[in-house]
Amino acid sequence: MTFGGTNTPAAQTLPWVLMAYAAATLLHFAHNAQYLAQYPNLPASWSAPEVYFAWCCITALGVVGYAAYLREHRSFGLTFLTLYAALGFAGLLHYTRASIAHHSAMMNATIWTEAAAATVLLVNVLALRRTAGSMPSNKG
């Protein structure tokens, strides 16, 4: 099966890696929303709906990037996908508010799952970037 007009391993794995990353971010954000008061030193003014809204905004970057990539606007799509993946490391900012020891096991698991999935997506997208310039259908 090929995606986006290419049959490279990175292109073939992109939809799966993208879905895994989206699931990991949803897990982390849902846990944040559900246990917002227990996360150490987060602003008391944040609400669960705001956390879910933030997830929707971030995920929109990935959707736009992937749609552009599939429509053969490679550079534009890969730029958005790079930004989407990079935002997966923002969860590590929890540790600027409190140490790992001050987070529950599940908090740490969702934070690190998101970061690991972001790493895999970013490596995949960078591999696609490397080959995007040599693709004949690269429109943007």
CB < 8 Å & 24+ apart, contacts of 130-137: 131/6, 131/8, 131/10, 132/74, 132/75, 132/78, 135/5, 135/6, 135/74, 137/5, 137/72, 137/74
For residue 67, the one-letter residue type is A
Q: What is the pLDDT of residue 8?
A: 87
The pTM assigned to this predicted structure is 0.87
Residue type at 94 in one-letter notation: H
**Residue type, position 6, single letter:** T
- Residue range 52-77, pLDDT digits in tens: 999 999 999 999 999 999 998 999 99
Q: Within the chain, which residues score under 70 in pLDDT?
A: 1-6, 132-140
Domains of the chain by residue range: 18-37+52-132
